[in-house]
C-alpha cells in the first residue's frame, strides 16, 4: 500500500496544483526548473501554463528587499511560494495573469548580504534568457516577453526594461540571446536608489531603507551639500540611469503615502521615460501605502498591446 501511495504522490500533487491555481483545473505547473547554476547552487523557477494560452510570457518577480526581509537560514522561504501564500497581494496579481492566458514564470534569485548588485540582477537576466532560449518548449513568443514586479522585484523588473547586458564570451546558447523584456509593469518601485533621505521623507524611509541598501550595495550614497546624490555604485544600480529611446514601455503604479519609496520617484521616472519617447503610463493610488493595487484589466491590456 505504501509503495502505491509513493507512486501516486506526484500525480496527486500535480492535481492539487492544477486545482489550486486560480481555482481552475486547467493550469499546468512545472516546479523548480533550474534556469542557471552559480558555483553549484541552482537558480530555480516555477512555470504556470494555462490550458488556453495566449502564448505570451510574463516573468513575475516578488519583492523581498533583496533578501533583507528574509531570515538567513538553511531552509530559506521561497520567493516562488508567494504565488500561493500571498493571496492578498502579489500572488493575487500573478494568478490573475495566468487566468488571463499568460504563461507565468516566477523565480528565486540570490539574496543580500551574501550577494548584491549586480549579481542579483544577473540572475533575473539569466531567467529572461532561459525563457527566451526555451520559448518553443514553453509555447511562447520569444520576441515579446513581459515582466511585472513589486518593490525590489519591481526594481529588478525596471532594470530588465532599460538594459540588455551582453555576455562577452557566451559559453552556452542561453548566454547568447537577449535579456531585454518588451513590456514592464512596476508596483511601488525604487527607480533611484539614492533618493530616500530628504526632509519630507518618513523616518522609516530614512532608517530602514538605509539598512536595506547597505545590505544590497555595501555602502550609502555619496553626499553633496548634505544630500545624497546619484553617483558611483548607486548610479550603476538605479534604473533611472539607463533610460533611453529603445527602452520597453512602462506601466507604473505608486501610492501617495508609500512609507518606504518616496512618491516622487514614480513621476520622476515617468517624466524621464516620456522625454525619451517611451510609451508609459503612471497610475497614482491614494492611501495604499507600499502596496498600490494594479488594475488587472489595464495590466492585461498593456501586455497585450506591447507583447503583440
Cell of 296: 488587472
Among 213, 230, 270, residue whose Cα is nearest residue 247: 270
Average confidence (pLDDT) over 259-288: 97
Domains of the chain (ranges; CATH) run 2-14+28-306 (3.40.50.1820)
Q: Cα dist. 75→66, 67, 81, 231, 264 in Å?
A: 17, 14, 13, 37, 38
Instruction: Dump pLDDT digits (tens) for 160-204.
Output: 999 998 888 888 899 999 999 999 999 999 999 999 998 888 887
Q: What is the pLDDT of residue 154?
A: 98
Q: What is the pLDDT of residue 71?
A: 75
Among 216, 195, 290, 294, residue whose Cα is nearest residue 250: 294
Where does 102-202 have alpha helices with state H? 119-133, 135-138, 152-162
Q: What is the pLDDT of residue 1?
A: 40
DSSP string computed for 112-132: TTTS-TTHHHHHHHHHHHHHH
Amino acid at each position: 500500500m505504501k509503495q502505491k501511495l509513493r507512486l501516486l504522490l506526484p500525480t496527486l500533487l500535480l492535481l492539487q496544483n492544477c486545482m489550486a491555481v486560480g481555482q481552475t483545473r486547467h493550469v499546468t505547473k512545472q516546479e523548480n526548473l533550474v534556469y542557471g547554476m552559480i558555483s553549484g547552487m541552482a537558480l530555480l523557477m516555477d512555470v504556470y501554463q494555462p490550458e488556453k494560452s495566449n502564448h505570451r510570457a510574463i516573468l513575475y518577480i516578488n519583492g523581498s528587499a533583496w533578501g533583507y526581509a528574509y531570515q538567513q537560514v538553511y531552509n530559506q522561504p521561497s520567493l516562488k511560494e508567494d504565488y500561493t501564500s500571498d493571496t492578498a497581494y502579489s500572488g493575487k496579481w500573478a494568478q490573475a495573469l495566468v487566468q488571463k492566458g499568460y504563461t507565468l514564470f516566477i523565480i528565486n534569485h540570490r539574496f543580500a548580504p551574501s550577494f548584491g548588485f549586480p549579481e542579483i540582477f544577473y540572475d533575473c537576466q539569466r531567467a529572461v534568457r532561459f525563457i527566451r532560449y526555451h520559448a518553443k518548449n514553453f509555447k511562447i513568443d520569444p520576441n515579446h516577453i513581459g515582466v511585472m514586479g513589486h518593490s525590489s522585484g519591481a526594481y529588478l523588473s525596471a532594470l530588465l526594461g532599460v538594459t540588455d547586458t551582453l555576455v562577452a564570451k557566451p559559453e552556452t546558447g542561453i548566454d547568447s540571446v537577449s535579456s531585454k523584456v518588451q513590456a514592464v509593469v512596476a508596483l511601488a518601485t525604487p527607480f533611484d536608489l539614492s533618493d530616500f533621505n530628504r526632509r519630507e521623507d518618513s523616518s522609516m524611509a530614512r532608517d530602514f531603507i538605509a539598512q536595506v541598501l547597505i545590505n544590497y550595495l555595501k555602502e550609502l550614497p555619496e553626499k553633496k551639500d548634505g544630500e545624497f546624490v546619484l553617483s558611483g555604485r548607486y548610479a550603476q544600480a538605479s534604473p533611472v540611469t539607463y533610460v533611453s529611446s529603445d527602452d520597453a514601455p512602462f506601466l507604473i503604479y505608486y501610492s501617495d503615502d508609500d512609507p518606504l519609496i518616496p512618491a516622487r520617484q514614480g513621476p520622476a521616472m515617468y517624466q524621464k521615460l516620456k522625454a525619451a519617447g517611451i510609451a508609459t503610463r503612471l497610475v497614482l493610488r491614494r492611501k495604499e501605502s507600499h502596496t498600490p493595487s494594479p488594475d488587472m484589466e489595464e495590466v492585461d491590456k498593456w501586455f497585450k498591446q506591447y507583447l503583440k
